Amino acid sequence: MSRSVRLVPAVVALLALTATACQGGVHGAPGGSGVHDPYFPRAGNGGYDVGHYALTLGYAPATRHLTGTAVITARATRDLSAFDLDLAGLDVESVTVEGAKARWNRTGQELTVRPHDDLSKGETFRTTVRYSGTPKTLTDPDGSEEGWLPTADGALALGEPVGSMAWFPGNDHPSDKATYDITVTVPKGLQAVSNGELTGRSDEGGRSTYRWHTAQPMASYLAMVAIGHYTIKRTAGPHGLPVLTAVDPTQTKASAGVLAKIPEILDWEEFNFGPYPFASAGAVVDRPHDAGYALETQTRPVFPGAPDTGTLVHELAHQWYGDSVTPASWRDMWLNEGFATYAEWLWEEDQDGKSAQQTFTEYYEGDHEEIWAFPPAKPSSAAHISGSPVYVRGAMVLQKIRRKVGDDLFYDILQGWAATRRHATASTADFTAYVEKQAPGKDFTGIWKDWLYGDGKPSRP
């Protein structure tokens, strides 16, 4: 309503000074530069909820120059005079909100946007950011690289935990999932692969454009672009699910066998975890790159060279646990990694290898000090969110639950958890409450206290 009222400049200036003190929702306040993540306090932003990102990118590997237009559709969750987007590096050329030129400034990773008119709580608004430059490779607290990674013949954009801000402005925190359209133009002869379904491909003036559509909500850290020479293959998974793999030509031989198992693994995971949560699946296999890790980017995980079967099982399991059911904060990482690691144990058990209980016992009895360094649900710092307590002891928590409730209820819990939080976010407290509700007669206090939140090695396996 304030937007239709014309005010003399002196009053406008006065109101701007006192904006935060205004009552009654006539004028908004700034949205806030973070969402209080315990490990990445500046990640994400307050005051709005993104519904959709439309990203139009152009990239020239020879010069490493990126041009981008991000159209972000969001809903204000309170009256806003300004709001932040996360963006690391790159040059911003213009910002508009609802078609009107907006003022903006930058401090570190915060791009603060001051719309021409205040936004009212509940209002849906469109922000368009035009930007360009050489995108950055970011180094995480644990020393690993993410963001924009130039490769031998193109680039890889990977975003866990806070790397998406290196290639597009947004609300870079898993608590704000959104749908995406990612359009990438590259020199002709190169491919551009991203999440979701390929909805268009065209050539013009020596350049090729690829349009990718993600219809199910996605956390920003799971958005991915892979640019380079890839052999693209389409097959079908369970119930005709479209499976698209993109493989660097140097990796085709080594990866053909393992990638052929995708339909079988997805089928096995559906049997154990419930319906596959997305409209397509697949994988990107690049040549081994600097980052050196696999990542469960939504619908299409990325691998640095041909993965082994266990790693493929792990990244595909993340489609349920991590990508569909997404951690509410980076503290809840074990809900991703504990589950994906446990999927590897289960796969081995079902392939007539070691049982999950044997794997558990080997870790418990073996010389693995690193597993006990900190509790899985409370990593000691941002540098440790991907440490082995999160992966291995997280998986051990699930094996403890399985022993407590028995196989039937345990598999119900695995499937029910994926179903009840499908396409949403969840915290550790949500999970423990869910387990307790499914098994009312059982006492989990010891498991939570010693295995999930406790320091040091629990005294009994």
- Binding residues for ligand TRP (CB under 6 A): 144, 160-161, 293-296, 314-315, 318, 337, 385-386
Nearer to ligand TRP, 128 or 144 (CB): 144
Q: Name residues whose C-beta falls within 8 Å of residue 40's C-beta, 6 or more positions apart in sequence.
A: 34, 161, 162, 173, 330, 382
Nearer to ligand TRP, 79 or 160 (CB): 160
Question: 169: closest CA among 128, 210, 116?
Answer: 128
Q: What are the backbone dihedrals phi and psi of residue 160, each rounded to the nearest 5 degrees, phi first?
A: -95, 125
Nearer to Zn ion, 34 or 141 (CB): 141
Least distance (Å) between residue 255 CB and ligand TRP: 17
| Residue 333 in the binding site for Zn ion (CB under 5 A) | no
How many other C-beta atoms can be found within 10 angstroms of the C-beta atom of residue 154? 23
CA angle 172, 175, 177 (to 5 degrees): 75
Q: Name residues whose C-beta falls within 8 Å of residue 370's C-beta, 6 or more positions apart in sequence.
A: 387, 388, 389
Q: How far apart are CA 142 and CA 384, in angstroms?
A: 7
Q: How far apart are CA 449 and CA 4, in angstroms?
A: 56
Question: 221: closest CA among 120, 324, 128, 296?
Answer: 296
* Partner whose binding site includes residue 295, from Zn ion, ligand TRP, none (CB under 5 to 8 Å by kind): ligand TRP
Nearer to Zn ion, 140 or 337 (CB): 337
Instruction: Indicate the DSSP class of residue 345.
Output: H
CA angle 324, 142, 399 (to 5 degrees): 50
Least distance (Å) between residue 170 CB and Zn ion: 23
Nearer to ligand TRP, 144 or 357 (CB): 144
Nearer to Zn ion, 118 or 337 (CB): 337
Residue in the shown chain whose Cβ atom is closest to ligand TRP: 386
Q: Name residues whose C-beta falls within 8 Å of residue 449's C-beta, 6 or more positions apart in sequence.
A: none
Q: Name residues whose C-beta falls within 8 Å of residue 352's C-beta, 6 or more positions apart in sequence.
A: none
Nearer to ligand TRP, 95 or 259 (CB): 259
Least distance (Å) between residue 386 CB and ligand TRP: 3
Least distance (Å) between residue 337 CB and ligand TRP: 6
The kind and range of the H/E element at 434 are helix 428-438
Least distance (Å) between residue 140 CB and ligand TRP: 6
Total residues contacting Zn ion by CB under 5 A comes to 2
Count how many Cα atoms sit within 13 Å of the Cα of residue 342 in the half-sphere of its side chain.
Answer: 26
Least distance (Å) between residue 323 CB and Zn ion: 11
Structure tokens at 337: 């990694």
**Choices 185-193, 273-281, 338-346, 440-448 (CB under 5 A): range interacting with Zn ion:** 338-346
Least distance (Å) between residue 221 CB and Zn ion: 12
* Partner whose binding site includes residue 384, from ligand TRP, Zn ion, none (CB under 5 to 8 Å by kind): none
| Residue 190 in the binding site for Zn ion (CB under 5 A) | no
* Partner whose binding site includes residue 385, from ligand TRP, Zn ion, none (CB under 5 to 8 Å by kind): ligand TRP
| Residue 340 in the binding site for Zn ion (CB under 5 A) | yes
| Residue 413 in the binding site for Zn ion (CB under 5 A) | no
Query: Edge to edge, what strands does the sheet with 302-304 contain?
Result: 231-236, 242-247, 281-286, 302-304
* Partner whose binding site includes residue 153, from Zn ion, ligand TRP, none (CB under 5 to 8 Å by kind): none
Nearer to Zn ion, 155 or 294 (CB): 294
Least distance (Å) between residue 143 CB and Zn ion: 18
Residue in the shown chain whose Cβ atom is closest to Zn ion: 340
How many other C-beta atoms can be found within 10 angstroms of the C-beta atom of residue 182? 24
**Contacting positions for Zn ion (CB under 5 A):** 337, 340
